[in-house]
Structure 1
Amino acid sequence: MKVEPITVSEFSQSVMAVPPLARRADYTLDEAQNRALVAHVEAGGVRTLLYGGNANLYHVAVSEYRELLDMLAQIAGPQTRVIPAIGPDYGKMLDQARILAQTDYRTAMVLPLAGFTTPQGVATGLRRLTDVAGMPFTLYIKSEDYIDVDTLAALVADGTLLAVKYAIVRPDPSDDPFLRRLLNSVPASQVISGMGERPALVHTRDFGLAAWTTGSGCIAPHALMALLRAAKSGEMDEAQRLYDRFLPLETLRDDISLIRVLHDAVTLSGIADMGPILPLLSATPEHALPAVEREARALLAFDRTLAGNAGVKEVKQAG
C-alpha cells in the first residue's frame, strides 16, 4: 500500500476502483481471494482502491475493522493508494477513526447516513473525526439535504475534507445546478464523480471533475484506464466506444442492485471468488445470474483483448 502523504493530483491520475470484498462461507475475510481481485485491478493500471459501498462496509463490525485495514494494506501494491470507508453513523465513525489513527492510511471516506443528521452537525462531527484520526476525509454525498454547498466548501477550505465523492443522481447529469454551485467554491480537482461509468464522461468532460469511481472497472481495468485517458485527452469517439462496453453490466447493476450485482459479477467472471455477501444484504436474485455472468464475462473478454493489444504494441515499440 502506498503510504506517502496523499496529494490532490492523485485523484486525476487514476479512476478509483471500488471493489467488493471477498469472504469465506463463515463470513470471515478471505485474504487470498481479495488479493487475487486486487492483483487483477492493479494489472490494468489502476492505482486507487476505495473500499466502501461495494465492499458493504456499511455493515462491517468495528471489531473486524483493524483486521480489515491490515489485510488491505498487505494485499495492495506499494504504489496503490487504499482508501477505506468509515461510518455511516457517528459512533461507529468515532471508533473507526481511533483505529485509523494507529495505521499508515492517509485518508478515509465517510459513508453517507440518511436521516438523523443536519449540515452543521455533519460539519461538527467531521472536524472532530479529523482531529481523532489525524487525517483529512473524503465525503460521500448522495443527497442535497445531507450538507449544503457553503458548509461543504468550508470543510474543504479548512482541510477537514481532502475530496468529495459526488453521487447525487440526476435524470440528465449535464443539468446539475447543485454541482455547478459546488464547483464555484471547491476545485474540480478535489471532486470525484461517484456513480460509476454512466455519468463519467459528462462529469469529466463538461464539469472537469478529477475522475470517477468504478465498480465494473474492477472487472475491466485496462478498458477503464483507457477510457480515462481518452476522456482526459478529448478523444471522445474512442471514449464513447469504450464507455459503451461498460453499459450492459452497469444497466444490470442499476436495475437490480449496484452492490449485489458487482459482488456476484466478479465471482461469475472467474477473476476471484467473492463468497457470500455480508448481511444485511443478500445475493443477486437467481433468475438474474445468467445475464450477470454473460455481461461480466463479455466485459472481461474485451478487457483481455485490450491488454493483449497493448502488450503487442509494447513489443513492437521495443523492437
Structure 2
Amino acid sequence: MLRGLSAFPPTPTDTNGTVDTQTLARLIERLSAAGVDSIGLLGSTGGYAYLSRQERRRAVEIAAETLQRRTPLIVGIGALRTDEAQALARDAAEAGADGLLLAPVSYTPLTEDEVFAHFSAVAEATDLPLVIYNNPGTTKFTFSPDLIIRLAALPRIAGVKMPLPVDVSFEAEIAVLRARLPSGFPIGYSGDWGAAEALLSGADAWYSVVAGLLPAPALALTRAAQAGDTAEAHRLNDSFQPLWTLFRQFGSFRVMYAIAAELNLFHAAPPRPVLPIPAEAMPRVVEALSALNA
C-alpha cells in the first residue's frame, strides 16, 4: 500500500462544498482500473482543508464502496485540533479506509514535541496504519530527521511522505533516513517534478498529484523508474515538463481543475478563495496534455 504509485484525485464539489459523489466514484473507478498501487483520498489535491467533516466522511464512503478493497485507500485526516483529527481518523476507518495520512495542520506554529504528541494521539484513535505527511509548503512545519525517527517508533506509524529535498540530493536524504529508520520503513515523495529522480534514487513511493487524473503516464514513469530504466524514466519525465512548468507557476491544485475540465472528467471551480488558472493559460494546458497523449 505504501509503495509504488499513490494517486491523489481532486474532490469535485459544488460551490457550497458538497461532494459530487457520482463524479468522485467515476474518478476512483478510473484510477483503480488503471492499476495504481493506492489511492490517496482527501490529500492536499483532494482539498481536504475546504471540506466539512460530514463531506469528508461521505467522500470516504463513496470511494470505499466503489473500490470494494480492490485498490488500497489512504485517507487524509489533517485538522487543526487533535480531537478533530482523531474523529476524522475514526470516521475514515469506519467508512472503509485502509490507511491514514496526517499532516500537522496549524495556525499557531507547532513545536516538535507538540507534533509528536499530536501524531501519537491520532495514531491511537484507530488500528489503521498512519503515514507521516511532511508538507511544509502548506503546513509551514518541517519534520526533522530526528522527529521522523522518533515517530517511526510508534506502533501504527507506517511510512513517511516527504517533500522534495532542499540543498541535498535524494540519495543523501534517503540514506540518512534509512540508516536510522526501522528496516523496510517506506519512504515516499511528493512534488511531482522530482518523482523520477526520487524513485530512481531508491524512494519507495511516489505520492502523485498528476496520477489523480492522468494515471497511465504516471504509471509508465513509475514502472520505468522502479525497474531501474533511467533512460526511459527520464524520457517519460521529459514529456511531463510542460505540465511541471504549469504546476510550478500556478500550483498543481489549480491546474488539476483545468485538466479535469479539458478532459471532460468534471467541470468545477476550485473552492474559494482559490481561483482557477487564467483563461489565457488554458492553451498551455492543452499542449501539456498533448505531450502526454492525454
Residue of structure 1 equivalent to 2:116: 123
> CA contact under 8 A between 1:27 and 1:276: conserved in structure 2?
no
Shift of 1:49: 0.7
Q: Sort the Cα spacing of 1:71 and 1:274 in 2 relative to 1 into closer, same or farther, 3 A.
A: farther
AA partner of residue 203 (structure 1): A
Residue of structure 1 equivalent to 2:145: 149
Q: Sort the Cα spacing of 1:133 and 1:75 in 2 relative to 1 into closer, same or farther, 3 A.
A: same
Residue of structure 1 equivalent to 2:252: 258
Matched, 1:220 2:214: yes
> CA contact under 8 A between 1:122 and 1:147: conserved in structure 2?
no
Matched, 1:140 2:130: no
Match runs of 1:210-249 below 5 Å: 210-249=204-243
Residue of structure 2 equivalent to 1:201: 196
Distance 1:42 1:98 in 2: 24
- Counterpart pick for 1:278 among 264, 271, 282: 271
Shift of 1:188: 6.2
Cα RMSD for the two superposed structures: 2.4
Structure 2, unaligned runs of 5 or more:
none
Residue of structure 2 equivalent to 1:109: 101
Shift of 1:99: 2.0
Distance 1:72 1:40 in 2: 11
- Counterpart pick for 1:190 among 179, 183, 186: 186
> CA contact under 8 A between 2:164 and 2:194: conserved in structure 1?
no
Distance 2:212 2:162 in 1: 20
Matched, 1:17 2:1: no
Distance 1:189 1:217 in 2: 23
Shift of 1:300: 4.3
Distance 2:212 2:56 in 1: 23
Partner secondary structure for residue 15 of structure 1: strand
TM-score by length of 1: 0.81
Matched, 1:166 2:162: yes
User: 18-27 or 80-89: which moved more?
Assistant: 18-27
Computing the radius of gyration from Cα coordinates, the structure with the larger value is: 1
The percentage of counterpart residues that share the same residue type is 22
- Counterpart pick for 2:90 among 89, 93, 98: 98
Distance 2:16 2:141 in 1: 38
> CA contact under 8 A between 1:19 and 1:55: conserved in structure 2?
yes
Distance 1:202 1:20 in 2: 25
Partner secondary structure for residue 19 of structure 1: coil
Partner secondary structure for residue 83 of structure 1: strand
Q: Sort the Cα spacing of 1:290 and 1:77 in 2 relative to 1 into closer, same or farther, 3 A.
A: farther
Count of matched residue pairs = 287
Distance 2:89 2:227 in 1: 38
Shift of 1:148: 2.6
Distance 2:230 2:152 in 1: 31
Distance 1:90 1:225 in 2: 36
Matched, 1:71 2:62: yes
TM-score by length of 2: 0.87
Shift of 1:19: 0.9
Distance 2:172 2:230 in 1: 24
Shift of 1:150: 2.3
Query: Which structure is richer in relative contact order (CA contacts within 8 A, separation 6 or more)?
Result: 1
Shift of 1:177: 5.2
